[in-house]
Structure 1
Amino acid sequence: MTDRITVHVRSEDPVSEAGVISMLRPRPEVRLHDGADDPAVTVVVADVFDPTGYQLLRSAQHSGPSRLILLISRLQDHQLALAAECGAAGIMWRASVNGDQLVRMIQTVAAGDGHLPPDLQERLLHLLGQSHGRDQGLGIVRVADREIDILRLVSEGYDTPEIALKLSYSERTIKNVLHAFITRHHLRNRTHAVAFALRKGLI
């Protein structure tokens, strides 16, 4: 039996926080954070990504090594990249979330992967595609072909096992390549890495 994933739920709205906690409490895959140790995943619940929602996500980012999930009701296009820069490894719409989906998202994020709903993926790709070439004159970004192949598959929504299968690499290699790319370019997570690669015209 695998270890349960420790999850902390944060919201400015006590009712919203209680609702997500009640969804997770009976799940055997997770353990709600009790303050005894650092949570593996923090779920931030907000209605809109206003200054309060932004500060809540930013505060969670700086609270420790926890991976972040944002449950949100509405998110404007210009807020997508900002949410990624604040450390959101996964984003899910509150209106469509259920216990099974949320637990799968928690497991995905805890494993080091990220996830966006398909409609947000399309919006992010479109938004960032508009900025291609804007700052390419500031310097040349050198990347290996392997990094480009992996980032392209990440941008298409594939997770680590799927990428490893498609490229005939081990899952450890995929994680190491992405970690090296993120560290080298001072990025926050995989979503931020895809945004960076798109801005630079790499994928």
Structure 2
Amino acid sequence: MSSAIGIDEIRSLEVRAAQDHMRTLLILHSLDDPSFVEYSQRFAHGLVLLDDITTEHMSGALERLERREEVMLPVRVAGQLLQRPGALRNGPHQSRQLLTQREVDVLTLLSQGYSNKQIAPRIGISEHGVKRHVANVLAKLNCSNRTQAVSLALQRGLLAESRLTPAM
């Protein structure tokens, strides 16, 4: 999908996906239109860049969708969104105050592409506990999926407060 398709067509796909309870994985041809990228990542359960597609990457993305997990936002897409002037920069302190330290830690691991099952032993809680923290983060940040929450957290600088060290 490219931004040449137009926002109206994207909105039509969004409505149809919601009506049919479909999960969506968008394959983007380019990052030329950041507003298109931002809009599409809000309703999609995942984004993949055409240039980044490998058999393993697509297989993993489709498996995560099937398990009803989120497909993480590609780093280049997150970077593109962050470069937008004033992109959701209002209120980082307010959002930071809403999240507990444990929620920030979970959000940090989500941003590194970990699943709930992988996060649980890293922070010493059950997988169910991680699921509860993810649900709290989504609610507090008013996000519909994990990808959107990570994108918003990156834009607002919320991940800088984590005690966790980045994965290599």
Q: Distance in 2 between matches of 1:172 and 1:115?
A: 20
The structure with the largest strand share of the pair is 1
Q: Of 135, 140, 144, which residue of structure 1 is paired with 2:90?
A: 135
- 1:135/1:177 Cα in 2 relative to 1: closer, same or farther (>3 Å)? same
- Within-5 A mapping of 1:84-163: 84-85=41-42, 87-111=43-67, 112-124=69-81, 126-127=82-83, 131=86, 134-136=89-91, 139=94, 141-163=97-119
Q: Of 153, 161, 181, which residue of structure 1 is paired with 2:137?
A: 181
Amino acid at match of 1:167: I
Extract structure 1 runs of 4+ deviating beyond 4 A. Answer: 137-141
Pairwise CA distance, 1:199: 4.2
Amino acid at match of 2:129: T
TM-score between the two structures when normalised by the length of structure 1: 0.61
Q: Distance in 1 between matches of 2:48 and 2:158?
A: 27
Pairwise CA distance, 1:192: 1.4
Q: Of 61, 66, 81, which residue of structure 1 is paired with 2:38?
A: 81
Q: Report Cα offsets for 1:78-113 as digits up to 9, x if no partner.
A: 33321222x212111235535543232111123323
Pairwise CA distance, 1:136: 2.0
Which one has more relative contact order, counting CA pairs under 8 Å at least 6 apart?
2
Residue ranges of structure 2 left out of the alignment (5+ in a row): 160-168
- 1:65/1:182 Cα in 2 relative to 1: closer, same or farther (>3 Å)? farther
TM-score between the two structures when normalised by the length of structure 2: 0.72
Pairwise CA distance, 1:70: 0.5
> Equivalent residue for 2:162?
none
> Equivalent residue for 2:147?
191
Give the share of equivalent positions with the same residue, in percent. Answer: 21
1:132·1:198 contact (CA, 8 Å) conserved in 2?
Answer: no
SS at match of 2:108: helix
- Within-5 A mapping of 1:32-51: 46-48=1-3, 50-51=6-7
1:132·1:201 contact (CA, 8 Å) conserved in 2?
Answer: no
SS at match of 1:165: helix
SS at match of 1:91: strand
The structure with the largest helix share of the pair is 2
Q: Distance in 1 between matches of 2:107 and 2:92?
A: 22
What is the aligned-residue RMSD (CA, Å)?
3.0
Pairwise CA distance, 1:187: 1.4
1:60·1:68 contact (CA, 8 Å) conserved in 2?
Answer: no
1:131·1:199 contact (CA, 8 Å) conserved in 2?
Answer: no
Q: Which has the larger radius of gyration?
A: 1
Q: Distance in 2 between matches of 1:188 and 1:148?
A: 17
